[in-house]
Amino acid sequence: MMETTIQHQEPHRFQSDTTFELHYSIGDLAKQWRLGRETVRLLVKDEPGVLKIQLGRRKALTRYSVPESVARRVHTKLFHGERYVRN
């Protein structure tokens, strides 16, 4: 039987509840942003609010669920620079 572990990143001080937001996979964001999956994974993996769902014991079986607000924050940082990001 496969073991499932869900890890939720430490929330930001001012982060709102993302439970009922639309969530994106790494593949979804890679298509929307026209970037590689590994590039997107590296951009979002340590962001506050990203859910990591680890299936089994291997890190290769980790799925990321990125709330819409986090995706917007990362996209803004990526395409407009850090100075425009509001927390």
pLDDT given for residue 57 in this prediction: 78
Give the torsion through C-alpha atoms of 86, 25, 42, 59, to 10 deg: 130
Residue 56 or 16, more confident? 56
pTM as predicted = 0.70
Q: How many residues are there in the chain?
A: 87
pLDDT digits (tens, 9 = 90+) for 17-43: 778 899 999 999 999 999 999 999 999
- What CA–CA distance (Å, rounded) separates 80 from 11? 23
Percent of the chain exceeding pLDDT 90 equals 53
**What is the rounded radius of gyration, in angstroms, for the C-alpha atoms of the chain?**
13
What average pLDDT does the segment 50-67 reach? 87
